[in-house]
Structure formats: structure tokens, C-alpha cells
């Protein structure tokens, strides 16, 4: 069982793995700790991660980046529309209202869902983990922003399935960070908790959380976010600034040229990074457009002035998290900043003045999410023993259920009910009781749309409960168990028809399987025929009144006895968009096909390289090591053959299939091997003798 934590960033991804010694961040093929969240498509194969980033400027329209922005979101979402203006690849609206990405791949234009693209990104991370661990990787924990909607969470799970991964948990990035911080603290108090504020400024978004730490425990008290405020917004600011400067100075309109835009954006990101450590930054791009080289510079203070409107936006998520936590500012013991976007000094100044203390960088700013996720995975895995540490995560959005047709006896006229309050513990379950004569539907909704990121609608899903046929009375009592699971997704775990029947029992005896199972029937009260009752089955209690135990008649024999009969009722879930199971299966098969194609291409390149290497190697050997072991004829023959092959590699043989290169190498070796063999034999026959006589 693998223990892996994945931080999928909008820009960079990190892979953490658990080893006996502790958590390690592993290196990718290019020996980097960070892997770009990118996929590039070409005529013959895909390139993933670092390889994709390398081809971004050459092949911008077919290189997909920032997939975290598009996944699980509607095309019409104004935030999506804004993002699409900055992204160089083509996106249209899918039939279900989400996005479709169009790229040229394997000789034709193909459409991919953001879920499929994320599947590719994850599959690359999985390979990185597998290469390092030397085992198959399936189980993992994947970080997600705390503000992710239900749809986005589901899309992540689908993407993971496509990649052949099984997330034990989708974990809020902020919570993962808090875990990576807290579990190593040996000085946490038994009594009054220590309060820490974590601020993550990433590429596209900013997240804040206030956490209470005690010995062996962390509790998320409040969260805040700006889903569209991150490092890239500062790049864009510089981009707009320099695009207009260059327009004036060089008479070029960079914005009208996708390739030049991409290069200028890249240069602006560099300028921003330079300004984090220097008072002035130069910019210089050769042949940016119309064969013009451009040059410029900007001072940090001017940058900060340009950025003032962005910088002002940081206060709001800080305030929200603080208010939600109900912790007075002076009780925040420390502030930790993470996320590479936070390297901008002006952001640190804002944090320092808001919290009235210098923010610290105790954590590895870019790796803590992956580490926290790997720790959580180890905690959930039976194969690792981890120090006891309780993670009390909270759900940021209140969840309500709504249903039609309250029962006539209902005293509750409001058919909406909040099942999970804001800040509800994750995971949690609630039990609801309905009295219904037949199939009915429950809508799961966000109770407060003002809390949601822009563009997310209130509706989450619909559960259809039924069919069932009441046998005892007109309406049956249906108990529905609703779960807010570890991923932060709301689902109906079970629906049960509960019927009471009176039977003649000859003697008092032990309860049978048919009878009330007290443990699981907790709260199954004889109640007025109401519309529905919400109870807490585990986790937090929503203030439901204490429930009485059911009354059972147990007298001497013979006796009439109440028996409870339970029947499972089918539950069907409908989500407004996303992949139906059959489509998901198809996507899994497709991914397998694409991965196979990539592998074939890699092997082809590898075999081609082998032919090339043999040509150069053998040519050298013929004049050195093998010199004394070949006849002139052999030497001439082989040399000619090598030259022929070299020419072929640059012409007809440039782009062949793997088997052709394999055959070509075999052909060369047929001539070369006997010579090498002869040389080896001779050397073995007369070892060191020559030296002795010398
Ligand atoms: P997200 O968390 O939004 O999904 P991410 O995790 O990929 O995205 P990070 O890797 O934390 O984001 O941060 C990337 C951002 O940090 C980029 O915008 C990058 O330009 C910025 N950045 C990196 N180094 C510096 C620096 N020295 N100064 C300023 N910004 C920097
Ligand atoms: K990251
Ligand atoms: Mg991040």
C-alpha cells in the first residue's frame, strides 16, 4: 500500500512520500522537486510536467496549463471567461455546460475535458512517485483548495480514477499545511491551545486558516480565501504595464500576438521574482515581435504602486478567517506564510500589519502541502504507524437539503433544512426521517451562496429515494443517512424503510435479527408524523433534541411484540454535470491508450538513440580499441555501413517506428559483434603477460 501526498498547484505540483524515516519530497525525471502542472500535445505523443513546460513557448496552443482553474467549473462562469482570455489554448462549452479543451494531437484536433487533463497531470505525478518508491502507487491523499465546490471535488476524484489513483482523502491544502506544521511540534500545550494563522499565496488563489493546536490535536477554527488572487495577478499587472510601454516605445502590440504575449508574461514573472529581492529589475527580450528587441526596467516602489489594488484585496480573506475563528487578534500566537506567491515583500508587510506581528517561514513554503497530505495518507494507511494526532477539519460552506411536499401533519412549514452548518466537522453524518408513500427527491444545496466563490451555483445534487412500497400504513417511515465525507462531498449513505409490526411471541427471548438493533437505532423515536427530522448520527450535533429510546413491550408469555422491519431503499444520485460512470470508464481506457502511446514513443526515441550511439561508439573503437583486431576489409565494410546508417538517421530513418531501429541496430551488431568478440577473447587469452615481459 502506497503512502503518497500530492500537492497539485495551479502552476507547480509536489510529490511527497512516506518512508520509514519520515516524509520525503521526491525528485522528478529532471531532478526537480517541483513539477509544472502542464500537458503538451504533439503529433506523436504527449509531454507531461517539465517536458510540457519546455515545449510551451514552441507549441503554446497545444500546451494546457492552469487546469486547476478550469476543472469542475462552468464555461459561462465569469471567472472562467476571464481566465480564458489569458490562456493560449482553445476552450469551448461542453454539452453539460462545463469546459472542453481542443488541441492538435496525433494528427487531428481532439477535445479533452479538464478532468481528463488533470488525470494526465496526476498520472505524471503517480509515475514520479512510482519511480522513486519502486512500487505501484494507488493510494494517496490529494490537496484541494478549501473553497472547492462539490463539483470540483467530484471532478478531482474522477481525474484520480483516470490516473489509476485512489485518494483516501481530498484534503484541504490549508489543513495539510497545518498538519505538516503541528505534528512535529513537541511543545504543544495540554490546556489552552496555541493559535496559528496560516496564509497560502499561490499562483492563482490565496487561502487563510486559523488553527488551534493542542497536544496531539489540531482544529481548524476559521478559513478565508480569495479564489482569484495569487502570484499570476502580479505578473499580469506587469504584463499590461510593459505591453503598453513597449507599444509606445517600439510601436509593437504584444497583446495581438499570442507567442509574444506568452514570452512577455514569462519575462514579467521573472521581473516580479527579481523585485522580491532587489529594488530594481531589468527586462530585456530579444526579437519579441516584428524582429524588435525590447528593453526596460521597473523599480520595486513603482511595482508596488501598480499593485496597490491587488495588495488591498489581501485584507478581506484575513478578516473573514479571523471573524469565523472567533479568536481575538491578540490571541493569534504566530503567523506562518506558505505558497511561493507570498515571496513578494509587500504581501508580507500587509500580513505583518494586519496581525501585528512578523509572519514566519517555519515551514518549507512550497512543500508543506505535499508533506501534510503524505502525513495524512500515512495516518489513514494501515501500513504506517504515525504519532497520534487528531485532525479536526471544518467544512467552509453550510449545506442545506430541500425536498418537496411536506407531509400534511407537518408542523414545520419550511421544507429547507441545514444539515451541515458552516464550519461543520469533516467527516460527519446526519440522520433524517421522512414519512412518504412513494419515491421522493432530496436536493442538496449550498445554504448561503454569498459564501461561495464567484460563479458557483447553489445546487449541488439530487438524490432520488425509492421506489418502495409501504406495507403497514399509507406512509412509510424512511430513514435517510446523509454523509459529509472525508473529501467534503455530500452523499446519501443509505435509505431504510422502517416498519413496525406486531407479532405474537410465545415466550420472552433474546432479540432476534429482526428486532431493534439498539446501537444503530439510536434516536429512532416514536415521533409525530412530521415532515422530516434531522438528527446527528455521529460527529457534531446540530442541536437536535435528545432522543428517547424506543419503547418495547416485553411481558410474560404469550405476548404481542413490536418488531422492527428494515428494508433498504434504493438511492440514485444526480449531479448537474460531470462524468457518468460509463464515460469515466471510457476516459480510463483512453488514458491508458495515450500513456501507452507515450511509452512507445519514449522507447522509440530510446532505440533510435541506441543506433546513433552505436554508430559513434563503433567508429571510435575501430580506430582505437579494435584497431588491431580488424582486417582492412572488415574495417572498410563496417565504416561504410556506419556512415550509411548515420545518413539514414538524418533522412529517411529520422522518424521510424521502434522495430525499424531495433532491426537496424541488430544489422550493425552482426558486423561489429564478431570483431568485439575477437578482441575480448584475445585479451583474455594473454592477460598481463605483455606487461610482465616488458
Ligand atoms: P495554487 O496554490 O494557486 O494552486 P501553486 O501551488 O502552483 O498554485 P505556488 O507554487 O505556491 O503556486 O506559487 C507560484 C507563484 O509564486 C507563481 O505566481 C510564481 O511567480 C510565484 N513566485 C515564485 N517565486 C517567487 C518570488 N521569488 N517572488 C515572487 N513571486 C514568486
Ligand atoms: K505548489
Ligand atoms: Mg499551492
- The predicted-structure confidence for 423-443, as pLDDT tens digits, reads as follows 999 999 999 888 899 999 999
Query: CB-based contacts of 87: which residues, under 8 Å, 6+ apart?
Result: 65, 66
Question: How far separated are the first and last CA of the chain, in Å rounded?
Answer: 62
Between residues 521 and 22, the one the model is more confident about: 22
Which of 405, 436, 418 is closest to 544 using CA atoms? Answer: 418
Report how far residue 225's alpha carbon sits from residue 454's, in angstroms, rounded to the nearest whole number: 12
The SS3 call for residue 503 is strand
Q: How far is the CA of 269 from the centre of ligand 3 (A)?
A: 17
Centroid of chain to Cα 130: 17
Between residues 556 and 96, the one the model is more confident about: 96
Residue 528 is predicted with a pLDDT of 33
Residue 508 is predicted with a pLDDT of 55
**Is residue 512's pLDDT more than 60?**
no
Looking at this predicted complex, what is its ipTM? 0.98
Residue to probe by mutation, ligand 1, list 7, 8, 10, 11, most atoms within 8 Å of CB = 11
pLDDT band of residue 691 (cuts 50, 70, 90) is: low
Average pLDDT of span 662-672:
93
Query: CB-based contacts of 490: which residues, under 8 Å, 6+ apart?
Result: 150, 399, 419, 420, 444, 460, 461, 482, 483, 484
Between residues 75 and 530, the one the model is more confident about: 75
**Is residue 272's pLDDT more than 70?**
yes
pLDDT band of residue 392 (cuts 50, 70, 90) is: very high
**Is residue 583's pLDDT more than 50?**
yes
- List ligand 1's pocket residues with C-beta within 6 A: 9-12, 68, 202-205, 230-232, 269, 272-273, 276, 339-341, 343-344, 366
Residue 686 is predicted with a pLDDT of 61
Between residues 143 and 60, the one the model is more confident about: 143
Of ligand 1's listed atoms, the one at least distance from the Cα of 231 is: 18
Of ligand 1's listed atoms, the one at least distance from the Cα of 232 is: 18
**Is residue 516's pLDDT more than 70?**
no
**Is residue 154's pLDDT more than 60?**
yes
Residues 139, 101: contact at Cβ < 8 Å? no
DSSP 8-state class, residue 60: G
Q: How far is the CA of 9 from the centre of ligand 1 (A)?
A: 9
Average pLDDT of span 481-497:
95
Please count the residues of the chain. 694
> Which domains are present in the chain?
4-191+358-380 (3.30.420.40), 231-311 (3.90.640.10), 397-574 (2.60.34.10), 581-690 (1.20.1270.10)
The SS3 call for residue 139 is strand
Q: How far is the CA of 118 from the centre of ligand 2 (A)?
A: 15
**Is residue 198's pLDDT more than 80?**
yes
Residue 400 is predicted with a pLDDT of 93
Residue 540 is predicted with a pLDDT of 38
Residues 407, 435: contact at Cβ < 8 Å? yes
Q: Which residue has the cell 509574444?
A: 260
Mean pLDDT value across the chain: 89
Residue 545 is predicted with a pLDDT of 37
Report how far residue 573's alpha carbon sits from residue 583's, in angstroms, rounded to the nearest whole number: 16
Between residues 146 and 564, the one the model is more confident about: 146
Residue 612 is predicted with a pLDDT of 95
Which cell numbers hold the place of 61?
496552443
Residue 473 is predicted with a pLDDT of 85
Q: How far is the CA of 155 from the centre of ligand 3 (A)?
A: 18
Average pLDDT of span 61-84:
95
Rounded to 10°, the helix 231-250/258-277 angle is 120
- 101-123: per-residue pLDDT in tens? 999 999 999 999 999 999 999 99
Residue 603 is predicted with a pLDDT of 94
Residues 430, 534: contact at Cβ < 8 Å? yes
Residue 527 is predicted with a pLDDT of 32
- 277-287: per-residue pLDDT in tens? 999 999 999 99
Residue 542 is predicted with a pLDDT of 39
Which cell numbers hold the place of 1?
500500500
Where would I find the H helices in 23-105? 50-54, 67-70, 78-84
State the CB neighbour count (10 A cutoff) for residue 414: 9
Q: Kindly report the CA angle at 177 between 399 and 349, in degrees rounded to 5?
A: 100
Q: Kindly report the CA angle at 411 between 407 and 414, in degrees rounded to 5?
A: 80
Which of 62, 88, 65 is closest to 10 using CA atoms? Answer: 65
Q: Whose CA is nearest to atom 18 of ligand 1?
A: 231
Amino acid at each position: 500500500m502506497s503512502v503518497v501526498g500530492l500537492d497539485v498547484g495551479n502552476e507547480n505540483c509536489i510529490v511527497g512520500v512516506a518512508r520509514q524515516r519520515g516524509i520525503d519530497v521526491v525528485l522528478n525525471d529532471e531532478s526537480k522537486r517541483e513539477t509544472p502542472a502542464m500537458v503538451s500535445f504533439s503529433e506523436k505523443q504527449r509531454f507531461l510536467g517539465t517536458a510540457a513546460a519546455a515545449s510551451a513557448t514552441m507549441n503554446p496552443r497545444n500546451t494546457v496549463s492552469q487546469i486547476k482553474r478550469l476543472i469542475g467549473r462552468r464555461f459561462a462562469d465569469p471567472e472562467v471567461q476571464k481566465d480564458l482570455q489569458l490562456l493560449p489554448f482553445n476552450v469551448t462549452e461542453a454539452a453539460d455546460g462545463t469546459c472542453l479543451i481542443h488541441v492538435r494531437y496525433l494528427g487531428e484536433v481532439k477535445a479533452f475535458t479538464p478532468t481528463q487533463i488533470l488525470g494526465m497531470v496526476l498520472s505524471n505525478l503517480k509515475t514520479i512517485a512510482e519511480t522513486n518508491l519502486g512500487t505501484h502507487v494507488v493510494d494517496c491523499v490529494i490537496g484541494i483548495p478549501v473553497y472547492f465546490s462539490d463539483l470540483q471535488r467530484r471532478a478531482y476524484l474522477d481525474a484520480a480514477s483516470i490516473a489509476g489513483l485512489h485518494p483516501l482523502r481530498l484534503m484541504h491544502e490549508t489543513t495539510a499545511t497545518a498538519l505538516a506544521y503541528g505534528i512535529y511540534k513537541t511543545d504543544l500545550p495540554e490546556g489552552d491551545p496555541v493559535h496559528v494563522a496560516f496564509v497560502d499565496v499561490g499562483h492563482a488563489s490565496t487561502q487563510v486558516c486559523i488553527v488551534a493546536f493542542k497536544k496531539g490535536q489540531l482544529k481548524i477554527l476559521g478559513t478565508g480565501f480569495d479564489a482569484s488572487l495569487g502570484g499570476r495577478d502580479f505578473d499580469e499587472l506587469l504584463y499590461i504595464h510593459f505591453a503598453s510601454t513597449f507599444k509606445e516605445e517600439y510601436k509593437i502590440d504584444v497583446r495581438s500576438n499570442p507567442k509574444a504575449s506568452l514570452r512577455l508574461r514569462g519575462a514579467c514573472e521573472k521581473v516580479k521574482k527579481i523585485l522580491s529581492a532587489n529594488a530594481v529589475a531589468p527586462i530585456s527580450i530579444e526579437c519579441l515581435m516584428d524582429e524588435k528587441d525590447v528593453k526596460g526596467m521597473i523599480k520595486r516602489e513603482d511595482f508596488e504602486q501598480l499593485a496597490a489594488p491587488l495588495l488591498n484585496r489581501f485584507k478581506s480573506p484575513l478578516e473573514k478567517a479571523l471573524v469565523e475563528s472567533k479568536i481575538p487578534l491578540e490571541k493569534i500566537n504566530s503567523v506562518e506564510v506558505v505558497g511561493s506567491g507570498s515571496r513578494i515583500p509587500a504581501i508580507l508587510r500587509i500580513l505583518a500589519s494586519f496581525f501585528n506581528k512578523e509572519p514566519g517561514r517555519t515551514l518549507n513554503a512550497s512543500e508543506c502541502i505535499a508533506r501534510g497530505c503524505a502525513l495524512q495518507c500515512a495516518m489513514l494507511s494501515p501500513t504506517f504507524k504515525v504519532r497520534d494526532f487528531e485532525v479536526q477539519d471544518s467544512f467552509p460552506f453550510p449545506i442545506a437539503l430541500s425536498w418537496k411536499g411536506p407531509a400534511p401533519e407537518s408542523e414545520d412549514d419550511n421544507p429547507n433544512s441545514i444539515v451541515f452548518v458552516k464550519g461543520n466537522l469533516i467527516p460527519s453524518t446526519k440522520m433524517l426521517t421522512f414519512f412518504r408513500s412513494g419515491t421522493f427527491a432530496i436536493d442538496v444545496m449550498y445554504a448561503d451562496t454569498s459564501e461561495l466563490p464567484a460563479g458557483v451555483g447553489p445546487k449541488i445534487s439530487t438524490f432520488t429515494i425509492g421506489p418502495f412500497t409501504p406495507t403497514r400504513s399509507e406512509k412509510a417511515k424512511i430513514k435517510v443517512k446523509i454523509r459529509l465525507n472525508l473529501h467534503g462531498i455530500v452523499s446519501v449513505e443509505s435509505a431504510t424503510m422502517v416498519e413496525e409490526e406486531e407479532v405474537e411471541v410465545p415466550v420472552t427471548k433474546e432479540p432476534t435479527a429482526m428486532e431493534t438493533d439498539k446501537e444503530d437505532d439510536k434516536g429512532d423515536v416514536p415521533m409525530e408524523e412530521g415532515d422530516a427530522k434531522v438528527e446527528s448520527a455521529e460527529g457534531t450535533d446540530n442541536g437536535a433534541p435528545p432522543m428517547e429510546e424506543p419503547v418495547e413491550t416485553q411481558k410474560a408469555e404469550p405476548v404481542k411484540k413490536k418488531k422492527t422491519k428494515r428494508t433498504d431503499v434504493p438511492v440514485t444520485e444526480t449531479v448537474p454535470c460531470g462524468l457518468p460512470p460509463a464515460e469515466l470508464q471510457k476516459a480510463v481506457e483512453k488514458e491508458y491508450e495515450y500513456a501507452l502511446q507515450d511509452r512507445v514513443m519514449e522507447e522509440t526515441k530510446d532505440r533510435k538513440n541506441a543506433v546513433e550511439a552505436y554508430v559513434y561508439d563503433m567508429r571510435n573503437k575501430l580506430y582505437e580499441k579494435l584497431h588491431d583486431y580488424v582486417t582492412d576489409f572488415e574495417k572498410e565494410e563496417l565504416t561504410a555501413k556506419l556512415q550509411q546508417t548515420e545518413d539514414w538517421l538524418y533522412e529517411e530513418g529520422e522518424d521510424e517506428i521502434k522495430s525499424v531501429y531495433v532491426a537496424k541496430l541488430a544489422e550493425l551488431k552482426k558486423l561489429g559483434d564478431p570483431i568485439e568478440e575477437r578482441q575480448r577473447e584475445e585479451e583474455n587469452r594473454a592477460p598481463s603477460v605483455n606487461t610482465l615481459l616488458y
